[in-house]
Amino acid sequence: MPTPRRLPRKLTSALAISIGLAAAVGLVGCESDAAKVSENISTAADNFEVQRLIVGINGITDKVLFSVEGRCSITRDGDLVVTCKHGENDYRKHIVGLSDNVTFISTQLEGIDASVYHTRIILKPENILPDFDLSTGKQ
């Protein structure tokens, strides 16, 4: 009986990588429609395309502590960080310290077109290439 031939090492590695990529692509397809749309809405909000109303409420007194309305992106970094676009080159950042008795509600004020079938990827070359400030003086 002849001995089985071994595949070259490069071919074996390429085959393993191909199988891994195929499995990863297959698993990406398991994401729900709601998860895909939610991801695309978050991407749109981070690019100031979503009109939102953010309201902070004191949980003890039920009083409104703050409200922010506009094309805003929200992040949670211990505190609530709201960055809004108010005009062409007018951006404002609001930071709210959250505690055990302060909560916030963010409401999207208008619908947007968000795909169920495609992941939205935004490439901005100006973010890849650094912006240099040259400062010279006498030494």
pLDDT by residue (tens digit) across 106-119? 877 877 777 676 66
pLDDT for 49-84, tens place per residue? Answer: 889 999 989 889 989 988 889 999 998 888 889 999
Closest CA to 124 of 39, 42, 46: 46
Alpha-carbon distance values, 73 to 23, 78, 91, 121, 139 (Å): 33, 16, 11, 17, 44
CA dist., res. 102 & res. 56, Å (int): 7
Mean of the per-residue pLDDT values of the chain: 77
Please report the pLDDT score of residue 85 as a whole number.
Answer: 92
**Taking residues 100-129, what's their average pLDDT?**
73
Residue 29 clears pLDDT 60, i.e. is over it = no
